[in-house]
Chain A
Amino acid sequence: MKVSLYSLKKILFQGKARLLNCKTMAGEITVLDNHASLITVLTAGVIKIVEENPSANSGLKQHFYPIKSGFLEVRQGNEVRCIIEE
């Protein structure tokens, strides 16, 4: 799935990912491929993104972004977009 993660300062992540894990107001969720359309509010915590293609030496690359608050939108067509406050 295509993931884009934006903050007010810059684009934090843009690319293909296998999974995205974050804390929402309703609890912790993990978004995988072909998730249903969703709009939700994120709470303070860490967003974890695992890249889709394993790299040669380190396996699946993981990214962590600490956030204060934000929004998550899962769109049709396997696309996830986040705006966050750092």
Chain B
Amino acid sequence: MDSPQNIKKRLKSVKNIKQITKAMELVSAVKMRKSQQIALDSRPYAFLALDLLATVSSLNQSSRWQFPELFKIRKINKVLFVLVSSDKGLAGAFNSSVFKKFEQHMQRDKEKYQSEEKFFVAVGEKSASYLSKKAVNIVKKFVQSGDHTTPTQVEPLADFIVEGYLEKKWDRVVIFSTHFRSALKQEPHVRRILPIDFNHIKETVQEIIPERGKFADLIKEHDISFVPKNSQAARKEYLIEPSPEKVLLKLAKHLFFMQIYHLILEANASEHSARRLAMKTASDNASDLASALNLQYNKSRQSAITKEIIEIIAGAEALS
């Protein structure tokens, strides 16, 4: 058995670790709530934008004008992959699950992608280091964006992707990020974000509300429907200024930005909840270890005392 002094030292350090992980757990819980709240606050905007897109695009029945470039599906020669991860570690399997999904995806579509040129964008320190280890073509890194992403922080990323797309640097953009299903369950997801697909955006908007937990009831409260309600006749009366084409072009950019913004927010919320869970496990383990060590310390102290008493008694008996 270790000496009581040594055990005491270990006990002390285990308790310190427990305090730190506990604090990190609480901080992550608050940050997760906050990220979720930000995502929820932008929902009315997202719904209205989608509604507008539905209205404007349904006006184009006779296809009098062309859809903007962002909607067009062109021949795919170059593909851009975006990996969204966190800046910091200690978040359990959060980052590795995104990378695993990425590897699986690349393995599965190996043949499909063979003829295509690949580009990569890293969001977050962890994916930057992962991609540079793989020695691939990283076009740009977006790191250190902080915890509570504001629209301004996402702007450079969205602008970069759209500009490259319009300049035909890539013909398709695929994003790997984490979908926040609930506080306990996050899943890595693969999404094609360019060219824009109405159904894909719809999916993203619907996913803003987590399936379970504090905000899950909101789905029932708001009767969400994406199918335009009014009849065709009513729609024709819309005045569109300056022209449907221009409105659609602007709208496409806004919607694309909104989609990126949501993906980042969701990844953010997932990161914090993954970290919270990891830290909870760590502090639970630390308290188990602490109680085991405490028992060991008491036993060794007790045995030391017993030994001393025996020595004293033996000494007294020898004298008498």
Q: Which A residues fall within an 8 A CB radius of B?
A: 4, 6-11, 24-26, 36-41, 69, 71, 73, 76, 81, 83, 85-86
Residues from 1 to 60 in B contacting A, C-beta threshold 8 Å: 38, 41-42, 44-45, 48-49, 51-52, 55-56
- Please tell me if the beta carbons of A39 and B52 are within 8 angstroms of each other in the complex: yes
Chain B residues near A10: list those with CB within 8 A: 41-42
Q: Is the interface of A mostly helix, strand, loop or mixed?
A: strand
- Output the nearest chain A residue to B55 by Cβ-Cβ distance: A39
Contact pick for A39, options B38, B41, B234, B240, CB 8 Å: B240
- Please tell me if the beta carbons of A41 and B52 are within 8 angstroms of each other in the complex: no
- Please tell me if the beta carbons of B55 and A8 are within 8 angstroms of each other in the complex: no
Check B203 for interface membership: any CB of A closer than 8 A: no
- Please tell me if the beta carbons of A25 and B242 are within 8 angstroms of each other in the complex: yes
CB of B15 to closest CB in A, whole Å = 42
CB of B237 to closest CB in A, whole Å = 5
CB of A14 to closest CB in B, whole Å = 9
Chain B residues near A76: list those with CB within 8 A: 230, 234, 237
Residues from 194 to 210 in B contacting A, C-beta threshold 8 Å: none
Contact pick for A73, options B38, B52, B254, B258, CB 8 Å: B52
Query: With A6-B44, A71-B52 known to touch, is A36 a contact of B230 (CB < 8 Å)?
Result: no
Check B251 for interface membership: any CB of A closer than 8 A: yes
Check B250 for interface membership: any CB of A closer than 8 A: yes
- Output the nearest chain B residue to A39 by Cβ-Cβ distance: B240
Interchain CA distance A9-B261 in the complex, whole Å: 11
Chain B residues near A69: list those with CB within 8 A: 250, 254
Interchain CA distance A10-B44 in the complex, whole Å: 8
CB of B263 to closest CB in A, whole Å = 14
Residues from 158 to 199 in B contacting A, C-beta threshold 8 Å: none
Contact pick for B48, options A9, A25, A81, CB 8 Å: A81
Interchain CA distance A76-B236 in the complex, whole Å: 12
- Please tell me if the beta carbons of B56 and A39 are within 8 angstroms of each other in the complex: yes
Interchain CA distance A84-B56 in the complex, whole Å: 17
- Please tell me if the beta carbons of A8 and B48 are within 8 angstroms of each other in the complex: no
Query: With A4-B44, A7-B45, A71-B247 known to touch, is A38 a contact of B52 (CB < 8 Å)?
Result: no
Query: With A8-B258, A9-B41, A9-B151 known to touch, is A39 a contact of B238 (CB < 8 Å)?
Result: yes
17 interchain pairs, CB-CB under 8 A: A4-B48, A8-B258, A8-B261, A9-B38, A10-B41, A24-B241, A25-B242, A37-B239, A39-B239, A41-B242, A41-B247, A69-B254, A71-B251, A71-B254, A73-B55, A76-B230, A83-B45
CB of B43 to closest CB in A, whole Å = 9
Chain B residues near A25: list those with CB within 8 A: 241-242, 246
Interchain CA distance A26-B243 in the complex, whole Å: 10
Query: With A7-B45, A8-B151 known to touch, is A26 a contact of B242 (CB < 8 Å)?
Result: yes
CB of B265 to closest CB in A, whole Å = 10
- Output the nearest chain A residue to B151 by Cβ-Cβ distance: A8
- Please tell me if the beta carbons of A26 and B241 are within 8 angstroms of each other in the complex: yes
- Please tell me if the beta carbons of B247 and A40 are within 8 angstroms of each other in the complex: yes
- Output the nearest chain B residue to A70 by Cβ-Cβ distance: B254
- Output the nearest chain A residue to B239 by Cβ-Cβ distance: A38
Chain A residues near B251: list those with CB within 8 A: 71
- Output the nearest chain B residue to A42 by Cβ-Cβ distance: B250
Query: With A8-B258, A11-B44 known to touch, is A83 a contact of B242 (CB < 8 Å)?
Result: no
Interchain CA distance A15-B224 in the complex, whole Å: 21
Chain B residues near A40: list those with CB within 8 A: 240-242, 247
Chain B residues near A26: list those with CB within 8 A: 241-242
Chain B residues near A71: list those with CB within 8 A: 49, 52, 247, 250-251, 254
Chain B residues near A24: list those with CB within 8 A: 241
CB of B197 to closest CB in A, whole Å = 20
Contact pick for A38, options B38, B48, B238, B261, CB 8 Å: B238
